[in-house]
Structure 1
Amino acid sequence: MSSLVEFDSLYVHVPFCKNICDYCILYSVVENSREVRKAYLDKLESDLNQASKQLNSLKTIFVGGGTPSALSFEDLERLIKLLQGLSPQDEFTIECNPSSVDQAKLEMMYSKGVTRLSFGGQSTSRKTRKMLGRRTGDMELFSAIDLAQKVGFTRINVDLIYGVPGQTLADWQFDVEQVLKRGIRHFSAYSLILEEGSELSKRIHETDDDLAVEMYHLCEDLLKEAGLERYEVSNYAVPGQECRHNLDIWLGARYLGLGPAAASFDGVLRWTEKADLKAWIKGEQAEYDQIPQKERSAEVLAFGFRTKLGWKKERLHSLYGIDVLIEYKEILDTLMTQGLLEETKSSIRATQQGLLFADEIASVLVEYAQGISE
């Protein structure tokens, strides 16, 4: 860990899940041992104490997983108390599975300063959930949203997945409309990716990309009618309701990740904690990603192109110097000629078409940076 940097954001990975969905490859464990969970929280407390001097000016905290809400009331309360004193200036988010929250947990989170919830819904359709190996029902999702709103939460996100084999355009429209009926003001829509090693990839070998593109555009149209604007490839919000944690990270913020498999970035180095709960608890060394600065700036540049507004040149220059766009002028001009990027005097960003090809833009930029670094 860098001993000099003050981090802008903190991410905490809670690896525990009651069960693991078939599409998921994020690090998680099905673990119910009180002793293991205590050891996890003890290690987290130790790491927070060690990093305390670098967490004095946090803007955001994001607790993800895994399933943070799968912790018992007592363990979840201890976790939040550990983070509560860091007093993030802008946002404190916790991811929740609708099936593992109740009024007591929601009231406790709200009373202790959590400002934003993110619910993993994935689908309101039984057949789509079955295909995904998702065990949470639509009624659990709607009940959790209603309870959270009753408790006082006004910043609530719901995740849904589209492009699932067997899912029709009408199914997807129904999903989106059902969530909008709950008054949701932030929405994440993820195209299904068949990740190597997932249970789903063993059963399914391809998806309908053309249908997924139709779903992408339909989602934008439906949400726009409801007052939610796309602000990143997969994220929509009523203006002012954007996820500030993710926005900052897409635009080069320095963040510390704690917990097994959590990633960190200090502006120069990235490192990732061991994706093994027992090894992480024992304190095994994180894996460092050391690449040339030109590759790093290309990587950060590409992340920013995932956002609708892209880069304010002033912000980009503050991170990597006034010459950063000059270094990449040749490839940026090519991407603009292809209609994937557009530039003004003060900013550079992806076009509407470019947002569809954000991953390809990233690949081209990093490959170009590798070439000029050699």
Structure 2
Amino acid sequence: MPSALPDGLPAPIDGSLPASAFGGPEDPQPPFGFYVHVPYCASRCGYCDFNTYTAAELGGGASQASYADDAIAEIRLARRVLGDADRPVETVFFGGGTPTLLPAADLGRILAAIRDEFGLLPDAEVTTEANPESVDPGYLAHLREAGFTRLSFGMQSARAHVLQVLDRHHTPGRAQECVAEARAAGFAHINLDLIYGTPGETDEDWQASLDAVLAAEPDHVSAYALIIEDGTRIATRIRRGEIPLPDDDVLADRYLMADEALTAGGLGWYEVSNWAADGAARCRHNELYWTGADWWGAGPGAHSHIGGVRWWNVKHPKPYAERVAAGESPAQGRELLTEEDRRVERILLELRLKDGMPLSLLKDRGFAAAEAAVEEGLLEPDKFADRKAVLTLKGRLLADAVVRDLVD
């Protein structure tokens, strides 16, 4: 969860939602998922601006040991807010922070509370993020027994000096070992996260990371360009001139290297920064976000969206724990999305998908921009003829610019 939260409108203390969020009796229910934010980290990575806390940063009144009880209290609040509506959960995603700093039994208890309150679909996807050094074979076996179906390991790089710049503390090679241990524990779906463009990273370093990922044989890979966020340690180092700012041309070249290597390795792109072995290997929880479905975000700083209402929780674990213990909503603020808000968000998100975005979302100026993008080789002409906007490889490199033109 990003560290900065918008102001928004006041959120009701009981968490109640307007009637418009529930739709009419004839309206189809969109897919429903749960996000659980675990805000704890053993140490802070130099590039991270997420809402996370080390033990030294927590202060009094917040406890990692009691966090599972806090999250379960919010899950029960969610059941009260959503009433008796039948909303079985299709996806659950534990993110952070480092969820696997909690005992596996605690993660299992939180998942069990979601199952007890809402029910899980038989084929529900249940993911947790994990740092490579935070798990071992026994821990992974406990997660699988608790009902987790998917793991996402933060590998970032195969090179020690790149990990050092990122302030990542796992040993090179450990992430690949985790893939093998996860397979042995019975996990069919495993993601490795990579970051490219770290200061000091060479083309050879990046190729080595891609080679290491493919040798580990996960069925999903996410690769993100390093983004320099204000207030992070790496931003401070760049400002001081200790390390260089990532170069846009280098980032583009690294993306092309990734797409070539991952495609050759049997992984196809389905979102600009994500590649999967097949449809079953895609991250269904992220697809839920990208297609505007519903989800409840539990935990400090977590965001939720139900029926066009979006809200976000207080950031710090102490006031979060105090509110849920009192039976109150931990929401700090919320907003009601207009039809125009939702149209723009669909363009922003769906254009990044291989499945593309319907041209019906575009207004006149946006449609004219899309026609120009086809001429410039940024959108697939055959898909355009089928009334879809789908990025070409060149278009993926310039996705942000294409989106800006299409939202007009």
Report if TM-score (shorter chain) is over 0.5.
Answer: yes
Partners of 2:385 and 2:33 in 1: CA distance = 29
- The counterpart of 1:222, out of the listed 236, 254, 261, is 261
Q: CA deviation at 1:344?
A: 3.2
* CA deviations over 1:110-152 (Å, ceiling 9, x no partner): 1121111000011110000011111111232122221111111
Structure 1's 336 and 183: CA in aligned 2 closer, same or farther, altered over 3 A?
A: same
- For the 8 Å contact 2:105–2:142, the answer to whether it is kept is no
* Cross-structure match for 1:256: 296
The aligned runs of 1:216-295 (5 Å cut-off) are 216-240=255-279, 241-283=281-323, 284-295=330-341
Following superposition, the deviation at residue 270 of structure 1 comes to 1.8
1:303 aligned to 2:349?
yes
Contact 2:108 2:147 in 1 (8 A): no
Amino acid at match of 2:69: D
The aligned counterpart of 1:16 is 40
Mapped partners of 1:27, 1:149: distance in 2: 30
Q: Could you say if the C-alpha distance between residues 31 and 80 of structure 1 is closer, same or farther in structure 2, counting changes exceeding 3 Å?
A: farther
Q: Which has the higher contact order (CA 8 A, sep 6+)?
A: 2
Q: Kindly tell me: are residues 360 and 289 of structure 1, through their superposed partners in 2, closer, same or farther at Cα, counting changes over 3 Å?
A: farther
Kept in 2, the 8 Å contact 1:123–1:160? The answer is yes
Asked if the contact 1:341–1:350 (Cα under 8 Å) also holds between the matched residues in 2, the reply is yes
Instruction: Extract unaligned runs of 5+ from structure 2.
Output: 1-14, 23-28, 240-244, 324-329
- Write the distance in 1 (CA, Å) between the matches of 2:275 and 2:389: 20
Shift of 1:177: 0.6
The within-5 A match list for 1:162-181 is: 162-181=196-215
Contact 1:17–1:67 (Cα < 8 Å) also in 2: yes
**Structure 1 residue 310: Cα displacement:** 1.2
**Paired position in structure 2 for 1:49:** 76
2:116 is aligned with 1:75: no
**Alignment partner of 1:136 out of 167, 170, 178:** 170
Greater CA drift, 178-187 or 278-287: 278-287
Where in structure 1 are there 5+ consecutive unaligned residues?
314-323, 369-374
Shift of 1:192: 0.4
Change (3 A) 1:215 1:11: same
Correspondence for 1:355 among 385, 390, 396: 396
1:334 aligns with 2:369: yes
User: Residues 114-125 of structure 1: matches in 2 within 5 Å?
Assistant: 114-125=148-159
1:148-194 CA-to-partner distances (Å, cap 9, x unmatched) read 11111110000011011110111101001111111111101010000
TM-score (norm 2): 0.81
RMSD: 2.3
Change (3 A) 1:103 1:354: same
Cα shift at 1:291: 4.9
- Kept after mapping to 2: 8 A contact 1:305/1:355: no
Q: Distance in 1 between matches of 2:140 and 2:350?
A: 33
State how far apart, in whole Å, the 2-side matches of 1:341 and 1:288 are: 35
Secondary structure of residue in 1 paired with 2:89: coil
Aligned residues of 2:62 and 2:318 also touching (Cα < 8 A): no
Residue 300 of structure 1 deviates from its aligned partner by: 2.2
Question: What amino acid maps onto 1:45 in structure 2?
Answer: I
Mapped to 1, the partners of 2:115 and 2:92 lie a distance apart of 10
368, 382, 385: which one pairs with 1:344? Answer: 385
The separation in 2 between residues aligned to 1:77 and 1:42, in whole angstroms, is 12
Instruction: Report the counterpart of residue 8 of structure 2 in structure 1.
Output: none
Residues matched between the structures, number? 356
Contact 1:80-1:109 at 8 Å conserved across structures: no
Q: Contact 2:191/2:222 (CA < 8 Å) preserved in 1?
A: yes
Distance in structure 2 (CA, Å) of the matches to 1:214 and 1:226: 18
- Whether 2:114 is the aligned partner of 1:90: answer no
SS at match of 1:16: coil
SS in 1 for 2:63: helix
Counterpart contact for 2:154–2:192, Cα < 8 Å: yes
Matches of 1:333 and 1:15, distance apart in 2: 44
Query: What displacement does 1:213 show?
Result: 0.7
Cα 1:159/1:76, change in 2 over 3 Å: same
* Structure 2 Cα separation of the partners of residues 335 and 345 of structure 1: 13
1:69-113: per-residue Cα shift (whole Å, max 9, x none)? 111244333233323443144311111111011122111111121
Cα gap change, 1:209/1:279 in structure 2, threshold over 3 Å: closer, same or farther? same
TM-score by length of 1: 0.88
Which residue does 1:213 correspond to in 2? 252
Other structure's SS at 1:90 match: strand
> Aligned partners of 2:236, 2:225: CA distance in 1, in Å?
18
Tell me how far 1:312 sits from its aligned partner.
5.3
Question: Which of 228, 236, 244 is the matching residue for 1:194?
Answer: 228
Structure 1 distance, partners of 2:202, 2:150, is 31
Does 2:91 align with 1:60?
yes
Sequence identity percentage: 33
Distance 2:399 2:88 in 1: 31
C-alpha deviation, 1:37, in angstroms: 2.5
